[in-house]
Amino acid sequence: MASNGPDDFAQTEIFKPEGAPAQAAQNSSPGNVETLNIHFTGSGSEYFRIWIVNLLLTLVTLTLYLPFARARRMAYFQNNTFVGQDPLGFHADSWKMFRGYLVVAAFGIAYWAVTNFLPSFGWIALLVFMALWPLLWRASLQFRLRNTSWRGVRLAFLGDTKGAYSAMLPFFLPALAFVGLLPIDPNDPNVASVDENQLKIMFAAAGVIVVGFVLLMPWFWKRLKTYQHGGYAFTQERADFTATAGQFYKLYFKVGGVGLLVLAGMGTLISAGLVAFAGASMSNLDAAALSSGSWSVMMIIGGVVMALYIVVPLVVGAYAGSRMQNLLWSNTQSQRLRLHSDLRMWPLLRMSLVNWLLIVITLGLFWPFAKVRLSRLKLESMLVEIEGNVDDWVAQASQDPQGALGDAAGDFFGIDMGL
């Protein structure tokens, strides 16, 4: 369906900007494996112009321009992402995305209004939210994939509604359990008569719920990603997610170990500083010097604590982000198509440190440049292996309307939540 919006938001065409990767064509016959590298040709200066206009218009329109801004951003990044010699295409109608934005916004406003002005019905609003969220999530995945193409063929998301609820339900169980512990009407005068033993039982039950959720998180995450990655499809190839729950638990505990090591290292530095100060104080008992030294130590400790809030998330985030990308994409494959990811922690950590430093120095203006740099690093750490002749797949898909167009069920409202 043709877009009825302004030219600025018309459906994007597949193009090859200057600097597109030149790669020798390879003849692929059944049984042969062709390796396609992924390249990103975008630049920070180009994206900065898009970003600053998007930001200003979003502020001026009180966020109503947000879906149009998202459409422009997605089109830029996808059109500059090359798999082999061919870029990804982006075909979403930004006016459909605007309708989807209004639907999700109305839903969020209604939930906020009920929980704030009718707290007695807050648990009902929570149940409605849980009932609708898997549907919105599935519609978002359908919309995103259906409006992405490679070599002129649209991708698709084939996950069903039952699978969406099954994947999301474990994340809602703790909230449901907490709802069961709370009184239905917080304004009920009988609520104030809850005795101490009942409160202890409620807090103990809440603690068990939290601990159980933390311990089961890797399994929950594995179920979610199995549904998401297992629903991706291109032509007649549907992906299969082969990672196990054990791999998620292994990564989960490794991330925790890295966090503990970083904290231990920072703690060692603090202890060494305190010991050094104590030694210096013993050799100089002058009261004024001790007072001055105490302030110096307090400032140093304060600086170290602030550094903890910066360094720990960056180090743990770089380790977790690199390992999670590798785990997810290296285990996403179909019968004749396989993806591989080899994102390294240290390059990601160095780039993250530099990006955040420059973002702070430039008061946020380096953000679009950081986004481009990070996207290039993540994308170019991946490659695609294809067995057989892709031209045959494309020819077959072009003759099959369903294969070429995908499932349009989730496209009516244009719901995209950035998932």
Neighbouring C-alpha atoms within 13 Å toward the C-beta of 399? 6
- What is the DSSP code (8-state) at residue 189? G
Query: Which of 110, 114, 105, 115 has its CA nearest to residue 136?
Result: 105
**DSSP H or E run through 66:** helix 66-79
Instruction: Give the CA distances from residue 123 to residues 178, 198, 323, in Å, rounded to whole numbers and listed in that order.
Output: 10, 21, 37
Q: What is the DSSP letter of 14?
A: P
Higher pLDDT, 178 or 333: 333
Q: Which of 187, 189, 134 is nearest to 410 (CA)?
A: 134
Dump pLDDT digits (tens) for 216-270.
Answer: 999 999 999 999 999 999 998 999 999 999 999 999 999 999 999 988 877 777 7
User: Is residue 404 a contact partner of residue 153, using CB atoms and an 8 Å limit?
Assistant: yes
pLDDT for 7-17, tens place per residue?
Answer: 444 444 434 44
Which pair of tokens denotes residue 90?
A: 């982006």
Determine the average pLDDT of the residues in 364-370: 98
pLDDT digits (tens, 9 = 90+) for 190-214: 555 556 777 777 788 888 888 888 8
Q: pLDDT tens, 275-331?
A: 766 666 565 555 555 555 566 666 766 677 777 778 889 999 999 999 999 999 999
Q: Which pLDDT score, from 0 to 100, does residue 124 have?
A: 85
Residue linked to tokens 């390796």 = 35
Task: Select from 124, 100, 102, 97 the least CA-distant residue to 113.
Answer: 124
State residue 16's pLDDT score: 45
CA distance 66 to 60: 11
Closest Cα partner for 398 from 232, 238, 235? 235
Is 232 in contact with 332 (CB distance < 8 Å)? yes
Residue 193 is given by DSSP the state: G
* CA distance linking residue 204 with residue 51, whole number of Å: 48
